[in-house]
Structure 1
Amino acid sequence: MEANVEEGEDVVFRAANGRQCGYKKGCPSFNGFDTTLNIFQASPELLEILTGSPVVYGWDGEPIGFDSCSIQCNSGFALELWADVLGEDVCPEEDTGDGAWVYFLLPWVTNGLLGDLEVGSEAVTLTLTGATRAGGRWGVGPYDVLAQDAAGTPGPLLTPLDASCHRRMLVTTIAPPAPSCGYQPVLCDASAS
């Protein structure tokens, strides 16, 4: 995740003799995060979600590939990532589970584009680039990612993500979900988010 920032224009006030008598630092504009994902294992369904590239199906209706088409700039996806917090002393005063993770949420990534593809005797790695946008109407989200009480009961975010935000990072004791292949339903109460 690389910050995409446009530098602001500084304003210098000068007297008639050319001497500087005032200065105001320009305010930069934050455009979002340019993202790069290295994907080591992907299904056609995942690539469709990330890029908008349509899935190709076999005779039995099972996904067998995808088509690379134009960049879908009018759609996008949300990305949640968990990274282990290392160390035995992570929140030792709390008995909330088997570990802690840094949770990253990018509520709206768009312009998903697969990078160069090199096919050889080694494994194939896919690189996807994209850019975040503000908004995405994530709210508190549809997934259980944060403890709701001292007992560690899993639940959604405790505070909604503001429509002007591009990313949220926090430490959680709720483990990431088990990996699964293919499409998964998003179950949420629209009134809660």
Structure 2
Amino acid sequence: MAKVNLAVIYYSSTGTNYQLAKWAEEGAKNAGAEVKLVKVPELAPKEAIASNPAWEKHLEETKDVPTAAHEDLEWADAIIFSVPTRFGNMPAQMRQFIDTTGGLWAEGKLVNKVVSAMSSASNAHGGQEATILSLYTSMFHWGAIIAGPGYTDPVQFASGGNPYGVSVTVGQDGQMQEDVEEAAKHQAKRTVQVAEWVKQGKQ
């Protein structure tokens, strides 16, 4: 069977969700997938970015990461999203990207994509679960298949136990408060595995 094509699509202002995306990329490659790591466009005004040195630095450091395009969605058998929480929802940058997919949706090109998501916030109950679920709401409209990690591996408990997707708390120092590297890799592996089942069934 042909390799699973996985798109890891992220938005990150200061680097946390970029790191989650990189771990997912590594986990998916280890599971045998062909992987594209892409970011959605930054929409924030330059003044806002300039007011936060960490944001400005991260934007410069990731300037060469390819920008997500509709072609990536068509190519992908599976998609992992990595986004920070904004008041319990995905950030506007990711929302805007998803909102441009109406043409693909109308043509049925998003049906049966296997999807999973990860998130972060600056406190333990800052909306990580709500953010992931808000993203999944759009995926149900796509006709996608959600591959949440559930409790399919003990690593879930060691990383906070979020069954909807890996989530992490980021302290005021910008550092992750939980060790979620292995959980992110497991979530990617599970997403690839489910996509393999779907792809095999479609052949």
For the pair shown, the structure with the greater C-alpha radius of gyration is: 1
Would you say same fold, with TM above 0.5?
Answer: no
| TM-score normalised over the length of structure 2 | 0.25
Higher relative contact order (CA 8 A, sep 6+): 2
| TM-score normalised over the length of structure 1 | 0.26
More strand by share: 1
More helix by share: 2
